[in-house]
Structure 1
Amino acid sequence: MLGVLLSPKIKAQNKIRQLEEEFAIPTKNEEMGEELNQMCNLSDYVEELGIQKGLERGLERGLEQGLEQGKEQLLRLQIEKKLAKGLSPSEIAEALEEEEETIRRMIGDRAV
């Protein structure tokens, strides 16, 4: 019976019909009808919550990735400007308060 009530594949009207016919549950009174309607739509509600949480998490991750990419792009621009002024990797690292290895890696990538 719970399988029928909670199935996302069965429409509410079909669930009510099955409860009446297969399980001999009266569904005509007003109070029972409202409760059944809520139970029949529970799977839709749970699905909506799952979708909403998934979207929120995806948005969060997307923002984090975007911020990281933005920071890296800014660092690359700063490195490029300092290289153009003739600074060495160690001087750039000191000026930008970054690890010298990070600066050397980014200069080595040459996507600066």
Structure 2
Amino acid sequence: MNVANSSAMGIVTLLYYLGTVFLATLLGIFLVLMIHPGDPRLSSGAAAVEPQKLSAVDTILDLIRNMFPENIVVASFERSQTIQRKSVIIMENATEFEITRDVSRQRGINII
């Protein structure tokens, strides 16, 4: 290729790149203005959920469990998670709490 063809191809490539970047920027700004991601008014109807207090061992075991899923298709949209259930045991002169841990499937992407 000679210099004239190379410079013409370089200019066309640069214009194409700048045009696509400009359109992507406009599309991003438009979508942010329309969707309002992170707007607290959109999630005001959601109930406050008390976070579970799991130990580090439970979390690490959940990670290991999610690394080797039972079903590869289900693993793409669900994940294993340890859930603590607290039950009250009322005895004659005392009240005790029994904490049981169950592994259940939660909606969400199975990622580490």
Normalised TM-score (structure 1)? 0.34
Whichever of the two has the greater Rg, that structure is: 1
Higher helix share: 1
Structure 1 or 2: larger strand share? 2
Q: Under a length normalisation based on structure 2, what TM-score does the superposition of the two structures give?
A: 0.34
